[in-house]
Structure 1
Amino acid sequence: METSWLLLAGALLLSVLVLRRHAKNRRLPPGPPAVPLFGNLLWLRNSAADVEPLLLKLFKRYGPVVTLRVGSRLAIFVSDRRLAHAALVGAGAVTISNRPKAATTALLGVGENIITNADYGPVWRLLRRNLVAETLHPSRVRLFAPARAWVRGVLLDKLRAGGAGDAAPADSMDAFRYTMFCLLVLMCFGERLDEPAVRAIEDAERAWLLYISRELSVFLFLPSVTTRLFRCRLQTARALRQRQTDLFVPLINARREYKRRAKEGQVPASETTFHHSYVDTLLDVTLPEEGHRALTDGEIVSLCSEFLTAGTDTTSTGLQWIMAELVKNPAVQERLHAEIKATCGDDADEVKEEVVHGMPYLRAVILEGLRKHPPGHFLLPHEAAEDMDVGGYLIPKGATVNFMVAEMGRDEQEWERPMEFAPERFLEGGDGAGVDMTGTKGIRMMPFGVGRRICAGLSIAMLHLEYFVANMVREFEWKEAPDHEVEFEEKREFTVVMKKPLRPRLVPRRT
């Protein structure tokens, strides 16, 4: 009899557990059919590395929250701005502030202690506070004004050589990307490097980023099998990482020596060496949670790579889309040029960064470019630290959660004529007037993210976009070149760039 009661109790307990599990499964956001271990069957026909077109179809079928299974990982995508605000800014903000372990960390053992990958905790707070206070604070940003003026000259020279006069129009993105690398390399390592050195760093960074974003997604499926089948991919990734290390460590050691000599008052004056750099701050960081140890060279390499990537690819992509829209919309370009001319006059050598904040139409042009063409169409993925509710759906602990940046900025329910480039919408009386870029009050567009993991470089990115756009429009009239018409088809690299590169005809405005 006692055995029968135990069996009955066990059966009831098992039934309760099964029912609870089924209840949770019923509350998960909807999605396509999946099989254990492999995930959704649609991966047989679609690539996990290029998921956006697939998601746009799934949102139409299932609604604004969709569940995908990538291997054994549960991934949830949110396209609704109100649900995104509730998750990222509302009651669930802390719960969803972690990051899923990156493939580079899990497979290659690199990049765990960087700001974008670290979980929301002491290490993340320490590294982010160091970046914001010691490099991105307005007082620090002002120290690099001479660097921005130098890079402005480099950029205009590159554009003159590639697209002015009767010369065949060149790919403007190359000039944007190279000059942003010049600036960020200087800010990172405190040294103005020559073009071959900057190009080497640029090539190494792009090769690494493109490879890990395109070729490592296969390891999301049955990693115990795929790590054996695709060993060559891991070997290639390690070689690309070693290339970064070989380039960065000598520059890091040079700053160690610079700091040592500075303490002894032995640093000679140099036009190419700056007194402050991001690496300087990293050399002073210690990790209290790990016995106050200093950062390793490998960790500093990862943080430098993160700094360069965050400040170059996104900004150069933003410049490409904005200038393409100005080529296609000459009336907008002329209104912007009129504002620049009225602000700076005809005699100034440049549009100084001190005055760009006083140009409302310039800012409207930048905001409209970021709304219509955000460099990243997704936020970096978040991970739920515990079970949470979003829009009545269960987001289980450990699930990866992502948010559709481009969809929110192009939502026709929130924006009038969303696919039209209309900077006037951000002026007084427009449907974007007073938009909150931080998303604190509500999300209408979030090219820099929102909430606790918002991009730390929002302010400096806006400064760079305003400063360089203003100076390029003041120097040249940007026109469509014969046989190189502007097309807005997108291509996903690390950011979302123009599939057909921008090749304008540049007409000098000043003689």
Structure 2
Amino acid sequence: MSLISKVSQTACAFAQWWWQAGTELYHYQTNNFFSNPTQAQNILSFFLLLATTITVTQWWRHWSRRNAPPLPPGPLGLPILGHLPFIGTELHRSFAKFAETYGPIMKLRLGSKLCIVVTSSSLAKEIFKDNDTIFANHDVPAVGNISSYGGVNMVWSPYGDHWRMLRKVCVSELLNHKRLEAFYGLRRREICNMLRQLYSYSGTPVDVGEEMFLTTFNIITSMLWGDTLEGEEGRRTTVEVRGIMDRAVMLFGEPNISDLFPALAWFDIQGIGRRMKNTVSWFDQMLDSVIDERLKTDGERRKVEDDVRKQNKDFLQVLLHQLNLKAKEGVPNKTPSLTITHIKSLLLDVMGAGTKSTSSVVEWAMAELLKHPNIMTKAQEEIEEVVGLNNIVEESHLPKLHYLHGVVKEVLRLHPPAPFLIPRCPSESCTIGGFMVPKGSKVMVNAWAIQRDPIAWENPLEFKPERFLRSSIGDDEYDFSGKDFRYIPFGSGRRVCVGIPMAERMVPYLLASILHSFKWELPKGVELDMSDKFGLELKKATPLVAIPSPKLSDFKLYN
């Protein structure tokens, strides 16, 4: 008998049994729960269909992968929840601990989401370089779409023409060398304001992170739309902005059922989506008011076109100018072009990422220097030798401050702003390290663990800026571009952080200025807490509070 005949015979026998089972089930129900045999058979059919679907799906997955590489190893999890009960709140540490048992690539199931965690520089190279195009998309969390006007911003938009258009605009009109040089006057003005403010706090405890945030926020918003918040009212508004940004970062880092079980995302069970909408609404109103201010009078577009020729045009002027040109010229349907929504999303990208990461890195740097006074002394002596005590730090001094740059790089090694960078989502299944990484999985590169790998780093937990001095390594090693996969604080590949040129200027400038102008010490009786708090941003669990004391020879320099 042929295979087809056997299958047909089996199917007929099963159909006869199924009809008889349904009839018997109907007669068995003495309380007439089923109104007729067909209803009973329908109920049985539903459960049979469900069981068959599950069986066929599992069989198909097994059959389709019969010749494919296996999935990475990983710990056993629970039904439905997967490994959620076992990972704790400090994912960067928990995943690094798991990697000691299961290796540099492992699988974890968080709810219904399959996560692939990578904890070695060689495997990071396979992702960011060898298979860069496949991993060019970010894994977008539920709140990511809400916070970015439906995923149209540069961070969460998929790799393609739209993303390339946004990145090109951002680089060519804000983050290239010429534009950043043009904005130097803004940075210098705000840092002088910061030094004046810190001088007024002399001898009293200061929240270092807050002061760095206020200064960075004023610098970046001046570059974006030219209006710096000034005076006490401005400081109160900026503090409010910081609180709202902290709330947004917290929502990004909060475990979300909508991410763990995407089928339930529509219900927003925890209300995280609603809270993020309220947070973004505040920023949206602020951005609308800024844009309306530019366009509120008759002839404002002509004024923008005139201003755009000036040397110190801000980013918003450039974007509105491009928007106006597109409206005049007309844009082919297939050509991505700027809209007001794109402009607001870009402003949010730069404002959010630039202020939080920069201020956090400077806060971590000051904490490490207060923990290691001998290193702080060496950094201050270098600055004094280059700048002198009768002058303030200028950006032109920075290339000569080699030890200070070593401090910054070492801080970013031990305290990367985003411990998992931004998780990726492969556009197709591929092989990494000999294991299958399925399409649509969440791929997390643990940069925090890679940069503390004892195989790649000598005494990896020791704060040692000397490891980055050019006298001991090649000039091209350990830069921020992500070419050396042992050191990737800003990511790597085509989705590497676009704000690196700004960070390379602002972090050393801020840190050098406060080290040069003040002596710093902890308040009496206060112990330095170096613990961190996991989230989208790896921030200090306890804000750093320190006391500044003036050290410049001429006190007029603070004014």
Q: Is the 8 A contact 1:261 1:267 kept in 2?
A: no
Q: Note if contact 1:425-1:433 (Cα within 8 Å) is conserved in structure 2.
A: no
Question: What residue in structure 1 maps to residue 227 of structure 2?
Answer: 191
Alignment partner of 1:458 out of 482, 500, 513: 500
Listed one character per residue, the Cα deviations across residues 210-248 of structure 1 (whole Å, up to 9, x for unaligned) are 224326x22123344464372644332222221111111
Partner of 1:448: 490
In the alignment, what sits opposite 1:485?
A: 527
Q: Deviations over 1:26-73 (max 9, x none)?
A: 61111233466x351x324556x7522321221122111121222332
Task: Name the CA shift for 1:259/1:55 in 2 (closer, same or farther; >3 Å).
Answer: farther
From 84, 93, 101, the counterpart of 2:124: 84
The amino acid of 2:387's aligned partner reads C
Change (3 A) 1:384 1:506: same
What is the letter of the counterpart of residue 274 of structure 2?
A: Q
Contact 2:481 2:496 in 1 (8 A): no
Partner of 2:462: 420
Which segment is superposed worse, 172-181 or 225-234?
Answer: 225-234
Partner residue, 2:383:
340
| Stretch moving more, 67-76 or 144-153 | 67-76
**Counterparts of 1:153 and 1:307 in 2: how far apart (Å)?**
23
Contact 2:142 / 2:265 at 8 angstroms: preserved in 1?
no
TM-score (norm 1): 0.87
1:253 match: 292
Whether the 8 Å CA contact 2:294–2:300 is kept in 1: the answer is no
SS in 2 for 1:504: strand
Give the structure 2 partner of residue 120 of structure 1: 159
Deviation at 1:388, TM superposition (A): 1.2
Match of 2:343 in 1: 300
Q: Deviations over 1:140-171 (max 9, x none)?
A: 01121111112112322343344x22x2x122
Aligned partner of 1:29 in structure 2 is 72
**In structure 2, what is the equivalent of residue 145 of structure 1?**
184
Report the equivalent of 1:43: 84
2:321 corresponds to 1:278: no
Say which of 363, 366, 370 aligns to 1:327. 370
- Residues 370/233 of structure 1: CA separation in 2 closer, same or farther (3 Å cut): closer
* Partner Cα distance (2:376, 2:331) in 1: 52
Alpha-carbon shift at residue 183 of structure 1 (Å):
1.2
User: Is the contact between residue 480 and residue 489 of structure 2 (CA under 8 Å) also seen in structure 1?
Assistant: no
Matched residue, 1:96: 135
Closer, same or farther: CA 160–133 of 1 in aligned 2, 3 Å? same
Cα distance in structure 2, aligned partners of 1:54 and 1:211: 20
Q: Please give the per-residue CA displacement for 1:99-122, whole angstroms capped at 9, x wherever unaligned.
A: 223313556783411111111110
Corresponding letter in the other structure for 1:474: H
User: In structure 2, what residue type is equivalent to 1:66?
Assistant: M
- Paired-residue identity, %: 25
Moved more, 66-75 or 450-459: 66-75
* Conserved? CA contact 1:478–1:504, under 8 Å: yes
Counting only pairs closer than 5 Å after superposition, residues 39-438 of structure 1 correspond to structure 2 as: 39-40=81-82, 42-44=83-85, 46=87, 50-90=90-130, 92-104=131-143, 110-162=149-201, 164-165=202-203, 167=204, 169-194=205-230, 195=234, 196-214=236-254, 217-225=256-264, 227-228=266-267, 230=269, 232-256=271-295, 261=300, 263-264=302-303, 275-283=312-320, 284=322, 290=333, 295-348=338-391, 350-430=392-472, 434-438=476-480
Asked if 1:472 corresponds to 2:514, the answer is yes
SS in 2 for 1:76: strand
CA distance in 2, matches of 1:450, 1:370: 15
Structure 1 distance, partners of 2:99, 2:367, is: 29
SS for the counterpart of 2:221 is: helix
Q: Secondary structure at the match of 1:505?
A: strand
d(CA) in 2 for partners of 1:374, 1:75: 21
TM-score between both structures, scaled by the size of structure 2: 0.80
Q: Distance in 2 between matches of 1:297 and 1:192?
A: 22
Q: 1:320, 1:230 → 2: CA distance? A: 35
Distance 1:258 1:317, change over 3 A: farther
- Separation in structure 2 between the aligned mates of residue 14 and residue 233 of structure 1, nearest angstrom: 32
Greater CA deviation, 424-433 or 382-391? 424-433
In 2, the alpha carbon distance for the partners of 1:68 and 1:191 equals: 47
Q: Select 1:497's aligned residue among 520, 539, 551.
A: 539
Paired residue type of 2:193: V
**Structure 1 range deviating more: 442-451 or 276-285:** 276-285
Cα distance, 1:260 vs structure 2? 5.1
CA drift of 1:186 comes to 1.5
Further displaced range: 130-139 or 246-255: 246-255
For 1:470, give the aligned amino acid: A
Distance 1:264 1:225, change over 3 A: closer
After superposition, the C-alpha distances for 1:475-505 in whole angstroms (9 at most, x for unaligned) are 0122233122222111224421222222222
Aligned residue pairs total 496
Quick check: 1:244–1:301 contact (8 Å CA) kept in 2? no
- For 1:352-385, what per-residue CA distance to the aligned partner results, in whole angstroms no more than 9, with x for missing partners? 1012012211211111111122122111011111
Classify 1:25/1:158 alpha carbon distance in 2 versus 1 (closer, same or farther; 3 Å): farther
Bigger mean CA deviation after superposition, 49-58 or 64-73: 49-58
CA distance in 1, matches of 2:140, 2:257: 15
Judged with a 3 Å threshold, the aligned counterparts in structure 2 of structure 1 residues 14 and 225 are, in CA distance, closer, same or farther, namely: closer
Over aligned residue pairs, what C-alpha RMSD do you find? 3.2
Secondary structure of 2:436's counterpart equals strand
- Structure 1: runs of 5 or more not aligned: none
- Work out the CA distance in 1 between the residues paired with 2:476 and 2:301: 46
Quick check: 1:59–1:66 contact (8 Å CA) kept in 2? yes
User: Which ranges of structure 2 fall in alignment gaps of 5 or more residues?
Assistant: 12-55, 554-559
Q: Distance in 1 between matches of 2:448 and 2:317?
A: 36
1:318, distance to aligned residue in structure 2 (A): 0.5
SS, match of residue 336 in structure 1? helix
Q: Secondary structure of the residue that 1:248 maps to in structure 2?
A: helix
Write out the 4+ residue segments of structure 1 that deviate beyond 6 Å after TM superposition: 13-16, 265-268, 286-289
Measured after TM superposition, the shift of residue 454 of structure 1 is 0.7
Cα deviations across residues 317-342 of structure 1 (Å, max 9, x unaligned)? 10011111111222222222222122
2:206 alignment partner, SS class = coil
Q: 1:20 to 1:182 in 2, by over 3 A?
A: same
Matched residues in 1 for 2:474 and 2:371: separation? 21
> Structure 2: how far apart are the matches of 1:182 and 1:363?
24
What SS does the aligned partner of 1:61 have?
Answer: helix
Q: How far, CA to CA, are the matches of 1:361 and 1:109 in structure 2?
A: 39
